Amino acid sequence: MMKRFRRMFLAAAPIIASSLLLTGCWDIVDPQDINYFMALGFDYEDGQFVVYAQMIDFAAVTTPESDKPTEHQTVWVGKGKGDTAASAFNDLYNTVQRRVIYSHVGAIVFSENMLNRGLQNIFDVLSRYQELRYTPWVYGTKAKVDEVLNVSPFFNLSPLASILHQPKEIYRQKSFIPPTMMRQFLTDIREPGRTAILPSIDINKSDWKEDKKAKEMLQLNGIFTFDSYKYNGFFRMDEILGLRYVTPATERTPVVVRHQDKVYSEVSVGNPKVKITPIFEGDRVRFHMLVTMKGLVIEVIEPIPEREMERLASEQAKEEILTTYENALEKNIDIYQLEHQLYLKHTKWWKEHLKERKLTLYKDSLEVEVKIDILSSGKLKLITE
């Protein structure tokens, strides 16, 4: 009997010994015991960097299978200050109570003061921390950053359901200002001859009411432009109406068909194809831009022949493209990336003439041709003659 137990013990001994080498789980942290930053904001006040962090309660976030929340979803916004961006984060840690995770950050907002100060230090910090991805949506704002981060959407939903965190859905329905991820913005500001564009986010306090009380909503209201890391201009939405026609990502954007003061219809256009051809004249260069788009008639106020509607819609789009170009030209900004076209397709000429200076543009440096082809008028027919 003793020999039998001895053999069993000797057989089990290696298993018992190896189990002592296994790591335990005594340092595991439950997800509910961690704070998750969902959005970050940056400002510059009185010579100091200011960082804001948005947090939400994950327990209150609904799933598609669950019922909508019946209570307002609390948004937590923290604030830290410091002489550097990193020290501002460390100041925020003093009151954050629990360990913080950055891997869920989905949006980053910069104040105009921060844009004027320069973003190089901020992106240096963000790019060094391996937990933070390059996929957050980035915005600039003229509003207070903490107020932007505090705005919640409809129906007591989480801020994750707002345009701050999910800008692509509304862009597919109405394409004006394309949403920009951090990786794309960083690529653009480092690319020679390119004007980087940062969407501007603002708070609308007038369009919506909740139980007859004004309800704040986020909206995109323009763009900030950059030459490398240098902020060089802000444009309201109505100043850049032509930009949507030369943005390949445009899916659906409206064109009001009018002649002089008379409005005839509205056409929805999208998927623009843009061809920019440089015309060299010694040290100077002009550009011919051809824009072709497909359109759908969404409203007719006064019937006109289909070909006439296409012609007027094309003229309206052309006028908006040129007006946007001239608005940008007043601030010496190359809004349509014309120099970048030279850098990509005529590199030798660019190196000889523009490597050490910016491209000088004039009002007559750009000529535009627009062709809109109406594919459908819905269930109702148009006049064909």
Write down the pLDDT at residue 12: 58
Residue ranges in the chain modelled with pLDDT below 50: 64
296 and 161 within one domain: no
The answer to whether residue 123 is domain-embedded is: yes
Closest alpha carbon to 240 in 259, 255, 217, 221 = 221
Q: Which residue has the tokens 């106020």?
A: 301
Q: Which residues contact 308 (CB under 8 A, 6 or more apart)?
A: none
Write down the pLDDT at residue 337: 95
Of 239, 270, 294, the one marking the end of a domain is 239
Of 189, 218, 239, the one marking the end of a domain is 239
The answer to whether residue 23 is domain-embedded is: no
The answer to whether residue 73 is domain-embedded is: yes
3-state helix/strand/coil string of 304-338: CEHHHHHHHHHHHHHHHHHHHHHHHHCCCCCCCCH
The whole domain housing 217 covers 33-239
Q: Running DSSP on this structure, what letter comes out for residue 154?
A: S
171 and 118 within one domain: yes
The answer to whether residue 15 is domain-embedded is: no
3-state DSSP helix/strand/coil % of the chain, to nearest 5: 30, 35, 35
Of 188, 208, 239, the one marking the end of a domain is 239
Q: Which residues contact 248 (CB under 8 A, 6 or more apart)?
A: 271, 272, 274
The answer to whether residue 13 is domain-embedded is: no
Give the number of domains in the chain: 2
370 and 342 within one domain: yes
309 and 177 within one domain: no
272 and 188 within one domain: no
The answer to whether residue 117 is domain-embedded is: yes
The answer to whether residue 16 is domain-embedded is: no
Angle in degrees, CA 374, 380, 381, rounded to 5: 60
Write down the pLDDT at residue 107: 97
249 and 184 within one domain: no
233 and 254 within one domain: no
70 and 157 within one domain: yes
The answer to whether residue 25 is domain-embedded is: no
CATH number of the domain bearing residue 371:
3.30.300.210
Give the span between the Cα atoms of 149 and 139, in whole angstroms: 12
Write down the pLDDT at residue 83: 95
Write down the pLDDT at residue 190: 93
308 and 228 within one domain: no
161 and 111 within one domain: yes
- Using the Cα atoms of residue 167, residue 172, residue 178 and residue 180 in order, give the sign of their dihedral: positive
Q: Contact 193/342 with Cβ under 8 angstroms?
A: yes
Give the span between the Cα atoms of 116 and 108, in whole angstroms: 16
Write down the pLDDT at residue 20: 56
Give the span between the Cα atoms of 138 and 291, in whole angstroms: 28
368 and 305 within one domain: yes
Write down the pLDDT at residue 161: 87
Write down the pLDDT at residue 172: 94
- The first and second tokens of residue 56, run together, are 């939400």
- Cα–Cα distances (Å) from 311 to 78, 306, 307, in that order, read 54, 9, 6
Write down the pLDDT at residue 254: 96
Q: What are phi and psi of 291, to 5 degrees?
A: -120, 125
Write down the pLDDT at residue 19: 59
173 and 300 within one domain: no
